[in-house]
Amino acid sequence: MSRESILRIAAIALEYPDDELLAATPGLRAAAADVSRPAGRRLTAFLDRRAAMDPWAAREEYVATFDFHKRAALHLSYYRDGDRRQRGATLLGLKRRYREAGLELTGGELPDYLPAILEFAALAPGRAADEILARMRPGIELLRATLHEQGSAYAPLLDAVSGVLPALSAEELAEARRIAAEGPPDEEVGLEPFAPPEVMPLAGAPR
């Protein structure tokens, strides 16, 4: 199965597990079964686990994973730009890229939301998608590192995504290490590092 299919399954699985998404889990599981290993194994394991969960437990797990930890933000421009004015420029640039590709965001989500980025890359593959993925790659890897550090069930989804992307460039790796050490801009001095530098690159995390 193509990279686009893997990105699309991961994009949907990373959305908040409301009733509609949970009802779609068997269909996603069937699609993931057609994905070659190792991505298919990672996707199906996550979806099998979710299918067996109580709906409220699935929602509580999602909120606990992504809504209370700056190091597990799904809005990827935050890692690089923090809450500075520069983030607004990044968001506008992403929105313009989506519009040029004939895609519009729905549901009020910001354009740096990881599921939206993966959906864009799946539905409009090409240079624009590759450039967005490259720009957001340090954030993707930092999120992946954090989820592994936390032992999160969501980590295999990021492994599946990372596994179909090009290897980190020297520039992307340097940026990821910088953010891991310093945190997003305007973080208060004295806070613990945004992510342990030793996780960049991800020691022990499967590809």
Residue 148: the pLDDT is 94
Q: Do 9 and 28 meet the contact criterion of CB atoms below 8 Å apart?
A: yes
Task: Assign 190 a pLDDT band (cuts: 50, 70, 90).
Answer: very low
pLDDT tens digits for range 74-88? 998 888 776 666 777
Query: Residue 75: beta bridge partners?
Result: 113
Mean pLDDT of the chain: 83
Closest among 155, 165, 136 to 204, alpha carbons compared: 155
pTM of the model: 0.83
| CATH class of the domain at 3-182 | mainly alpha
Residue 203: the pLDDT is 37
User: How many whole angstroms separate alpha carbon 167 and alpha carbon 185?
Assistant: 26
Read off the pLDDT of each residue in 36-41 and give the average, rounded to a whole number.
Answer: 87
Q: Do 153 and 60 meet the contact criterion of CB atoms below 8 Å apart?
A: no
Read off the pLDDT of each residue in 140-162 and give the average, rounded to a whole number.
Answer: 93
